[in-house]
């Protein structure tokens, strides 16, 4: 998969739709560019990530011999199939279809990862699928921070703490510029800072979403329900929140696509190259995330078991290069 190229992309003029699209395209491209810079490989991004994942010490710390249940295999194939759907506009149509597909691409990207992580969680814990998005996102945040995790930077990046006193972990020692603009064109050097900004603003939205719940049941000295949230309560609750990760950014983008700013994803691109970069970045993040999950699962349940699971997925020949079929040799 190629590096993200910005040579023929126009700077936004200032409409709300353009600014939103440009911001999220920059965040996604920053992840891809940083990953490519961290793990260069003559065979491309996937091979570089595979080498980095396989080189971590998790194999010696993780017990193999787990069981991939029939239900787990079905859920995993659902994730793989959703990835195929995500990539289909790049094969089946032209620039117009890719631009139009950006309206639902964040939903497909999130659910491809969600299903794969659900299968992984079932295999690791021996339990049923996690029932809620909150539970799965929390489990993912725990996994990327674990010493025996197969995930590498930038998936390990985490932002914690309250507003104005954030903590930044898992950025691989990168120097972060906390004054960077969301409209900065991403490249390898500033990509860590852009991802930190993406996670910081995502966490701000998470905190805002919790305010009403944290205020519920609180009363004033006169015994009336509080209309605002005391600063001390906000600080304590925000500090106790789990860290915010790249997976929360995917969830944030999925929610915006479904419920908030779908128009921006559809009409905010400044041209075919702009739209294609957004779509390609999402697809690359999904492919590398699934690859990491697959390498881990291959160790847990055995490579032959995972290969049989992948072989049972019907993939159109033209889409095989954009599917799990293009990754099995890297397990």
| Residue 71, token pair as written in the block | 């239900």
Rounded to the nearest integer, the mean pLDDT of the chain is 92
Residue 88 or 272, more confident: 88
Mean predicted confidence (pLDDT) in 323-328: 97
Please state the pTM of the whole predicted model: 0.92
* pLDDT score of 6 more than 80: no
Q: Domain ranges in the chain?
A: 21-213+226-330
Residue 237: predicted pLDDT: 95
Q: What is the pLDDT of residues 242-299, one digit of tens each?
A: 999 999 999 999 998 887 766 788 888 888 889 999 999 999 999 999 999 999 999 9
State the virtual CA torsion across 65, 69, 74, 78 in degrees, nearest 10: -50
Residue 16 or 238, more confident: 238
Q: How far apart are CA 32 and CA 280, in angstroms?
A: 9
Q: How far apart are CA 58 and CA 63, in angstroms?
A: 10
Q: In this structure, which long-range contacts are made by residues 196-202, counting pairs with CB atoms below 8 Å and at least 24 apart in sequence?
A: 196/157, 196/159, 196/168, 196/171, 197/27, 198/27, 198/30, 198/249, 199/157, 199/158, 199/159, 199/244, 199/245, 199/246, 199/248, 199/249, 200/159, 200/166, 200/244, 202/159, 202/244, 202/248, 202/249, 202/252
* pLDDT score of 175 more than 70: yes
Residue 9: predicted pLDDT: 43
Mean predicted confidence (pLDDT) in 87-113: 93
Query: Within 13 A of 197's CA, how many CA atoms are on the CB side?
Result: 22
Q: What is the pLDDT of residues 42-65, one digit of tens each?
A: 999 999 999 999 999 998 888 899
Residue 328: predicted pLDDT: 98
Other CB atoms within 10 A of residue 91 CB = 14
Bridge partners for 158 per DSSP: 169
* pLDDT score of 126 more than 90: no
| Residue 133, token pair as written in the block | 């998005």
């Amino acid at each position: 998969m190629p590096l993200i190229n910005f040579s023929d992309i126009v700077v936004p003029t200032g409409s709300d739709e353009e600014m939103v699209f440009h911001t999220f395209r920059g965040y996604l491209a920053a992840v891809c560019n940083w990953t490519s810079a961290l793990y260069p490989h003559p065979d491309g991004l996937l091979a570089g990530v595979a080498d980095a994942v396989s080189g971590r010490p998790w194999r010696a710390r993780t017990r193999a011999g787990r069981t991939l249940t029939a239900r787990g295999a079905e859920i995993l194939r659902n994730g793989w199939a959703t990835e195929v759907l995500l990539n289909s506009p790049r094969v089946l149509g032209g620039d117009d279809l890719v631009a139009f597909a950006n309206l639902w691409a964040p939903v497909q990207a999130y659910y491809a990862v969600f299903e794969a992580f659900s299968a992984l969680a079932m295999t690791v814990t021996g339990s049923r699928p996690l029932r809620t998005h909150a539970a799965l996102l929390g489990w993912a945040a725990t996994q990327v921070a674990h010493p025996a995790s197969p995930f590498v930077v930038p998936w390990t990046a985490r932002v914690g703490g309250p507003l104005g006193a954030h903590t930044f972990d898992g950025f691989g020692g990168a120097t972060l510029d906390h004054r960077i603009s969301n409209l900065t064109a991403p490249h390898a050097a500033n990509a860590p800072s852009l991802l930190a900004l993406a996670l910081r603003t995502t966490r701000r939205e998470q905190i805002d979403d919790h305010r009403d719940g944290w205020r519920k049941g609180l009363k004033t000295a006169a015994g009336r329900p509080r209309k605002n949230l005391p600063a001390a309560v906000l600080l304590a609750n925000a500090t106790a929140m789990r860290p915010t990760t790249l997976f929360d950014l995917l969830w944030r983008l999925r929610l915006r696509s479904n419920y908030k700013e779908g128009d921006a994803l559809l009409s905010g691109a400044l041209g075919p190259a702009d739209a294609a970069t957004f779509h390609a970045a999402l697809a690359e993040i999904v492919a590398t995330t699934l690859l990491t999950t697959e390498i881990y699962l291959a160790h847990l349940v055995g490579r032959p078991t995972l290969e049989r699971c992948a072989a049972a997925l019907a993939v159109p020949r033209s889409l095989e290069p954009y599917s799990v079929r293009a990754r099995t040799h890297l397990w």
